[in-house]
Structure 1
Amino acid sequence: MSSGIPTASSVPDLSVLRRPSGGYAMLAIDQREAMRAMFAEHQSEPVGDEQVTAFKLAAARILTPYASAVLVDRQFAFDRVVEERAVAPGCALIAAADRFHPAHGELVGEVDIDPDVVPERVRRQGAVAAKLLVLYRPDTDPGARIAMVEQFADECRRAGLISIVEPVSRKPLDGREWDWDEGVLAAAKELGARGTDLYKAEVPLRGQGDPDEIRRRCAQITEAVDGPWVVLSSGVPQDVFPDAVRLACAEGASGFLAGRAVWASCIGSSDVEADLTNNAAARLRRLCEVVDTAMAGRSR
Structure 2
Amino acid sequence: IENLVHEISETCHAHDLPLFLEPVSYSLDTSVSKSSAEFAAGRPEVVCETARRLSALGPDVLKLEFPIDAAFDEDDSHWQAACQAISQVCQVPWALLSAGVDFPVFERQVRIACQGGASGFLGGRAIWKECIAMAPADRQQFLQTTGLERLKTLSNLAQQHGRPWTDFYQPIEAKEDWYISYA
How would you bin the TM-score normalised by the shorter chain?
0.7 to 0.9
2:114–2:163 Cα contact (<8 Å) kept: no
User: AA paired with 1:188?
Assistant: A
Specify every segment of 5 or more residues in structure 1 that has no aligned partner in the other structure, as ranges: 1-144
Alpha-carbon distance in structure 2 between the residues aligned to 1:206 and 1:155 = 34
User: Is there any run of 5+ residues in structure 2 with no aligned partner, and where?
Assistant: 33-37, 165-183
DSSP 3-state at the match of 2:130: helix
In 2, Cα distance between equivalents of 1:223 and 1:296: 12
Which of residues 137, 145, 152 is equivalent to 1:285? Answer: 152
State the Cα deviation string for residues 216-244 of structure 1 (Å, max 9, x = none). Answer: 00011111210211101105321111121
Partner deviation per Cα, 1:239-292 (whole Å, 9 max, x = no partner): 111121111111111100110111111110132111111111111111111111
3-state SS, counterpart of residue 240 of structure 1: helix
How many residues align? The count is 153
Q: Following superposition, which runs of at least 4 residues in structure 1 exceed 6 angstroms of deviation?
A: none
Report the residue type matching 2:83 in the other structure.
C
**Matched residue, 1:94:** none
Alpha-carbon shift at residue 174 of structure 1 (Å): 5.3
Q: Residue type of the partner of 1:210?
A: D
- 1-side partners of 2:160 and 2:79: how far apart? 19
| Alignment check: 8 A CA contact 1:233 1:258 kept | yes
Question: CA offsets per residue over residues 76-99 of structure 1, 9 Å max, x none?
Answer: xxxxxxxxxxxxxxxxxxxxxxxx
Q: How does 1:29-68 map to 2 (within 5 A)?
A: none
SS in 2 for 1:230: strand
Candidates 89, 95, 100, aligned match of 1:230: 95
Name which of 157, 163, 167 aligns with 2:13. Answer: 157
8 A contact 1:199–1:227 mirrored in 2: yes
Q: What is the TM-score when the length of structure 2 is the normalising length?
A: 0.76
Match of 1:170 in 2: 26
Deviates more, 1:232-241 or 1:274-283: 232-241
Is residue 62 of structure 2 the alignment partner of residue 199 of structure 1? yes
Q: Sequence identity of aligned pairs in percent?
A: 33
- Equivalent position of 2:4 in the other structure: 148
1:244 aligns with 2:100: no
SS, match of residue 221 in structure 1: helix
Query: Equivalent residue for 1:273?
Result: 140
Give distance in 1, aligned partners of 2:8 and 2:102. Answer: 31
| Code of the aligned partner of 2:19 | S
Distance 1:199 1:269, change over 3 A: same
Do residues 217 (structure 1) and 94 (structure 2) align?
no
| Contact 1:203–1:236 (CA under 8 A) maintained in structure 2 | no
SS of the aligned residue for 1:239 comes to helix
Find the aligned partners of 1:234 and 1:258 in 2 and give their Cα distance.
8
Please say if residues 87 and 118 of structure 2, whose CA atoms lie closer than 8 Å, have aligned partners that are also in contact.
yes
Q: Which has the higher strand share?
A: 1
Query: Contact 2:9 / 2:19 at 8 angstroms: preserved in 1?
Result: yes
Instruction: Provide the residue aligned with 1:255 in structure 2.
Output: 120
Contact 1:201-1:230 at 8 Å conserved across structures: yes
Higher normalized helix content (fraction of residues): 2
